[in-house]
C-alpha cells in the first residue's frame, strides 16, 4: 500500500471518520424517506387496482357479457382485489414495522447536543487528544528539516563562489580568504542543523508507536459504532425483503390458483345452452290451442253491487280465489294470489270510498287450477304476491311451515296460503284476520248467479252513470266475462294474472327493489329449489353462492352464482355461511 498525503495519520485527516458518524444519522433519515415513498407507491397501486376493479365490475353489471365467460372476467377482477389487499398490507408493514424500527434505533444511538451529536463530539475529541503530542513533534521535525535544507542551500552557494574566485586572479587575496571562512562557517552550520533535524526525527519516530496506539483505539470505537449501524441496516433490509416478497405469503399463489380455476371453468357450451334456453330457440312458447268455455266466473250485477257500495259499512270485493285452485305450496310462488285492484282510482273527496278485502269462493272441480304467477321483474312485482317464510308476522300466518333443524326430516318451508290485501288507504291486512267492520254480503254478489239479470241491469247502470260523477272502484267496475283463454295456464297468466281487470303495476304500494349490498355475503342453501320464473335460479341443498341484496318486503333476495349468473331466490331457503 502506497502512502499518500491524504493518510488517516496525517494531522486532521481523522475528520472523515468523525464525519462518518454524522453521515450515519443522515442515512437513517434517507432510508426512512425511501421506505415512506415505497409505502405510498404500494398504497397508490392498491388504490388504482380497486378503482380499476370497480369500473369494470360496473361494466359487467350493466354490460352484455354473461354466463361462465362473465365469471372469467370477474375472476380477473377478483385477482386485482386480492392483489390490492396484499399491497395494502405491504404498505402498512413498511410503515408500522420497518419505518418505526429505524426511527426507534436512530433515537437510541444518536443523541443530539447543542451543535453536534454526542457520539460525533466524542470521536472528534478523542482523535484530537491522541494526535496533539505527535502533532507537536511533527511540527518540530518539519521546522528542523526546513532549517537544515536552507543551510545546505547556503553552503552550496558559498562553495560555488569560492571555487570561482580561486581561478580568478583579479580577485584580491583578502576577499578569497573571507569567502573561504564563510564557507567553513556554513559547513559547520549545516552539520549542526543536520544533527538537530535527525534528533527531532528520532524523537517523533520513537513516539509513533504511542501515537498509533492512541489513534487506533479511538478509530476502533468509531468502527464498532459504524459496524452497529451497518448490521442494523442489514437487518432492516431483511425486514424490507420480508415485507415485499409476496411469494412467501400463502395468499399470493392462491390468488392465481383461483384465477386459473375460474378460467378453466369457462364453458362455451354451457353459455350457449343458457342463451338458447333464455333468449333463443329452446325457449318455451304458448302456441294457440283450443280452449273450452267455462261458466265458473260470471259477470256480477253492477246495480246490486252499487247498492252495497253506497252503504257506509259495506265491503268492496277486490279479488276471488277458488278453493282447490292451488296445491300445497313448495316455494314462494305457490302462494301467489289472483288479487286485482281496479285500474280506476276513486275520487279522494268521494264519501262513498270503501275498504276492500279478498274472498275465497268454491270452484268447479272440472276446471284445472289457475297457476299463480309472479311478475318476472323485482321492480314490477305485484303486492298480491304471497310472502315467503321469514316475513313479518303482520303479513304471514303464524302457523306456516318452518325449516326443520338439521338432523331431522327436512323439507322446504311452505309459505302460508295467505293473501296480502291492501285497503284503499294503503294499510295492509290479512285475509284471515278479523275485520272490525260490518260485512254485508248479498247473494247477488255471487258470481255464479243468473246471467239473465245482466242485460236489464246494464241499461239501468248507464242511466245512473249519467246522473252521477262517482267513479267506480273494486267491484264497482264492470267485470268482463272471461275469454276463451281465461283458463289456459300460462296464456291466461300472460294476458292477465286476474280475470277481474288489469293489474295496477304502477301502484305506489308495489314493492321496491332492496338496495344492493356493499359487500356480497356468502350463503349456503338449506333446501333444494327449482326455479319457476326466468329471473330465478335453481339450487341444491348445500350449494353456495353470493347474496347481493337484502330481503325485500316479499321475502326475495338477489344472488350471484360462481358462474356469474345473477337472479332472484327465496331468502328463507338459504343461510349465511358464517352462521352455520
For residue range 9-42, list pLDDT tens digits in order: 889 989 999 999 999 999 999 999 999 999 999 9
Percentage of the chain with pLDDT > 70? 62
**pLDDT bracket for residue 226 (50, 70, 90):** very high
Q: Helix, strand, or coil here: 135?
A: helix
More confident residue, 164 or 444: 164
Give me the chain's average pLDDT, please: 73
pLDDT, tens only, 562-573: 888 899 999 999
* Residue where a domain terminates, one of 511, 533, 549: 511
User: What value does the mean pLDDT take over residues 79-97?
Assistant: 94
User: What value does the mean pLDDT take over residues 531-557?
Assistant: 91
More confident residue, 390 or 233: 233
Whether the per-residue pLDDT at 178 is higher than 50: the answer is yes
| 316 & 350 share domain | yes
Exposed / middle / buried, residue 5 (Cβ in 10 Å: 0-12, 13-18, 19+): exposed
d(CA 378, CA 276) in angstroms, rounded, equals 23
Number of structural domains (the chain) is 3
CB neighbours of residue 195 within 10 Å: 12
User: What value does the mean pLDDT take over residues 250-257?
Assistant: 90
Query: Domain of 95: which CATH number?
Result: 1.20.1270.60
| 485 & 372 share domain | yes
Q: Are 361 and 396 in contact (CB under 8 A)?
A: no
What pLDDT shows up at residue 508?
43
Whether the per-residue pLDDT at 350 is higher than 50: the answer is no
**pLDDT bracket for residue 148 (50, 70, 90):** very high
Q: Name 362's Cβ contacts closer than 8 Å, sequence gap at least 6.
A: 322, 323, 324
Residue 317 has phi, psi (to 5 degrees) of -85, 125
**pLDDT bracket for residue 460 (50, 70, 90):** low
What pLDDT shows up at residue 559?
93
What pLDDT shows up at residue 168?
75
| 334 & 436 share domain | yes
Residue 466 included in any domain = yes
Q: Which one-letter DSSP state was computed for residue 400?
A: S
Angle at 322 between CA 321 and CA 327, to 5 degrees: 100
| 477 & 521 share domain | no
For residue 557, list its beta bridge partners.
569
Residue 219 included in any domain = no
Query: Domain of 568: which CATH number?
Result: 2.30.30.40
d(CA 387, CA 401) in angstroms, rounded, equals 13
More confident residue, 13 or 394: 13
| 522 & 504 share domain | no
Residue 507 included in any domain = yes
Residue 461 included in any domain = yes
User: What value does the mean pLDDT take over residues 181-187?
Assistant: 89
What pLDDT shows up at residue 331?
43
Residue 209 included in any domain = no
User: What value does the mean pLDDT take over residues 487-513?
Assistant: 44
Residue 257 included in any domain = yes
User: What value does the mean pLDDT take over residues 528-557?
Assistant: 91
Whether the per-residue pLDDT at 537 is higher than 70: the answer is yes
- Which of these ranges, 74-78, 167-171, 260-264, 553-557, has the smallest mean pLDDT? 167-171
Name the strand (E) or helix (H) holding 123. Answer: helix 118-166
| 332 & 456 share domain | yes
Whether the per-residue pLDDT at 509 is higher than 80: the answer is no
| 275 & 290 share domain | no
What pLDDT shows up at residue 448?
53
Print the domain residue range for 79.
14-110+250-283
**pLDDT bracket for residue 113 (50, 70, 90):** confident
Cell numbers for 578, please give them.
358464517
| 298 & 378 share domain | yes
**pLDDT bracket for residue 579 (50, 70, 90):** confident
d(CA 151, CA 135) in angstroms, rounded, equals 24
User: What value does the mean pLDDT take over residues 211-224?
Assistant: 93
Q: Name 413's Cβ contacts closer than 8 Å, sequence gap at least 6.
A: 388, 389, 390, 400, 401, 402, 403, 527, 572, 573
* Residue where a domain terminates, one of 483, 511, 539: 511
| 544 & 468 share domain | no
pLDDT, tens only, 398-446: 333 344 444 344 456 654 333 333 333 333 434 333 333 434 445 555 5
| 348 & 305 share domain | yes
Whether the per-residue pLDDT at 396 is higher than 60: the answer is no
**Measured between alpha carbons, how far apart are the two ends of the chain, in Å?**
78
| 330 & 445 share domain | yes
- Which of these ranges, 49-58, 306-315, 430-439, has the smallest mean pLDDT? 430-439
What pLDDT shows up at residue 210?
92
Q: Helix, strand, or coil here: 195?
A: helix
* Residue where a domain terminates, one of 492, 511, 530: 511
Cell numbers for 85, please give them.
389487499
Q: Name 372's Cβ contacts closer than 8 Å, sequence gap at least 6.
A: 326, 333, 334, 335, 336, 337, 338, 386, 497
Q: Helix, strand, or coil here: 574?
A: strand
Residue 121 included in any domain = no
Residue 186 included in any domain = no
| 316 & 441 share domain | yes
Amino acid at each position: 500500500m502506497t502512502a499518500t498525503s491524504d493518510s488517516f495519520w496525517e494531522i486532521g485527516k481523522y475528520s472523515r471518520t468523525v464525519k462518518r458518524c454524522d453521515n450515519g444519522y443522515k442515512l437513517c433519515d434517507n432510508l426512512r424517506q425511501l421506505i415512506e415513498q415505497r409505502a405510498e407507491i404500494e398504497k397508490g397501486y392498491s388504490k388504482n387496482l380497486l378503482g380499476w376493479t370497480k369500473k369494470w365490475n360496473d361494466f359487467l353489471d350493466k354490460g352484455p357479457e354473461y354466463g361462465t365467460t362473465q365469471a372469467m372476467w370477474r375472476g380477473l377482477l377478483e385477482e386485482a382485489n386480492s392483489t390490492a389487499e396484499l399491497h395494502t398490507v405491504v404498505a402498512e408493514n413498511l410503515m408500522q414495522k420497518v419505518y418505526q424500527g429505524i426511527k426507534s434505533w436512530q433515537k437510541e444511538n444518536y443523541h443530539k447536543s447543542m451543535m453536534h451529536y454526542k457520539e460525533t463530539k466524542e470521536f472528534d475529541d478523542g482523535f484530537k487528544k491522541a494526535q496533539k503530542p505527535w502533532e507537536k513533534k511533527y511540527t518540530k521535525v518539519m521546522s528542523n528539516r526546513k532549517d537544515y535544507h536552507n543551510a545546505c542551500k547556503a553552503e552550496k552557494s558559498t562553495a560555488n563562489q569560492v571555487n570561482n574566485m580561486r581561478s580568478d586572479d583579479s580577485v584580491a587575496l583578502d576577499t578569497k580568504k573571507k569567502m573561504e571562512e564563510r564557507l567553513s562557517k556554513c559547513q559547520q552550520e549545516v552539520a549542526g542543523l543536520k544533527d538537530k533535524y535527525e534528533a527531532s526525527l528520532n524523537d517523533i519516530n520513537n513516539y509513533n508507536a504511542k501515537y498509533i496506539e492512541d489513534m487506533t483505539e479511538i478509530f476502533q470505537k468509531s468502527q464498532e459504532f459504524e459496524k452497529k449501524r451497518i448490521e442494523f441496516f442489514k437487518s432492516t433490509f431483511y425486514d424490507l425483503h420480508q415485507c415485499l416478497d409476496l411469494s412467501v405469503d400463502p395468499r399470493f399463489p392462491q390468488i392465481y390458483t383461483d384465477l386459473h380455476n375460474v378460467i378453466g371453468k369457462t364453458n362455451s357450451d354451457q353459455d350457449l345452452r343458457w342463451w338458447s334456453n333464455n333468449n333463443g330457440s329452446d325457449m318455451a312458447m304458448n302456441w294457440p290451442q283450443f280452449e273450452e268455455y267455462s261458466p265458473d266466473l260470471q259477470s256480477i250485477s253492477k246495480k246490486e253491487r252499487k247498492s252495497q257500495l253506497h252503504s257506509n259499512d259495506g265491503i268492496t270485493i277486490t279479488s276471488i280465489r277458488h278453493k282447490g285452485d292451488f296445491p300445497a305450496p313448495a316455494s314462494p310462488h305457490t302462494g301467489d294470489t289472483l288479487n286485482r285492484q281496479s285500474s280506476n282510482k276513486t275520487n279522494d273527496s268521494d264519501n262513498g270510498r270503501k275498504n276492500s278485502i279478498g274472498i275465497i269462493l268454491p270452484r268447479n272441480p272440472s276446471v284445472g287450477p289457475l297457476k299463480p304467477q309472479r311478475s318476472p321483474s323485482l321492480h314490477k312485482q305485484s303486492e298480491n304476491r304471497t310472502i315467503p317464510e321469514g316475513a313479518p308476522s303482520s303479513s304471514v300466518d303464524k302457523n306456516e311451515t318452518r325449516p326443520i333443524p338439521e338432523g331431522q326430516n327436512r323439507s322446504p318451508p311452505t309459505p302460508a296460503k295467505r293473501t296480502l290485501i291492501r285497503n284503499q288507504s294503503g294499510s295492509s291486512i290479512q285475509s284471515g284476520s278479523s275485520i272490525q267492520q260490518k260485512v254485508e254480503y248479498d247473494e247477488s254478489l255471487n258470481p255464479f248467479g243468473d246471467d239473465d239479470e245482466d242485460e236489464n241491469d246494464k241499461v239501468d247502470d248507464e242511466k245512473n252513470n249519467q246522473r252521477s260523477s262517482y267513479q267506480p272502484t273494486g267491484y264497482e267496475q264492470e267485470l268482463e266475462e272471461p275469454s276463451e283463454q281465461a283458463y289456459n295456464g300460462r296464456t291466461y297468466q300472460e294476458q292477465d294474472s286476474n280475470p277481474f281487470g288489469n293489474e295496477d303495476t304502477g301502484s305506489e304500494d308495489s314493492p321496491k327493489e332492496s338496495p344492493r349490498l356493499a359487500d356480497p355475503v356468502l350463503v349456503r342453501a338449506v333446501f333444494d329449489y327449482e326455479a319457476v320464473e326466468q329471473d330465478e335460479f335453481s339450487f341444491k341443498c348445500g350449494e353456495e353462492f353470493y347474496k347481493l341484496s337484502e330481503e325485500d318486503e316479499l321475502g326475495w333476495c338477489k344472488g350471484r352464482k360462481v358462474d356469474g349468473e345473477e337472479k332472484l331466490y327465496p331468502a328463507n331457503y338459504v343461510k349465511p355461511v358464517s352462521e352455520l
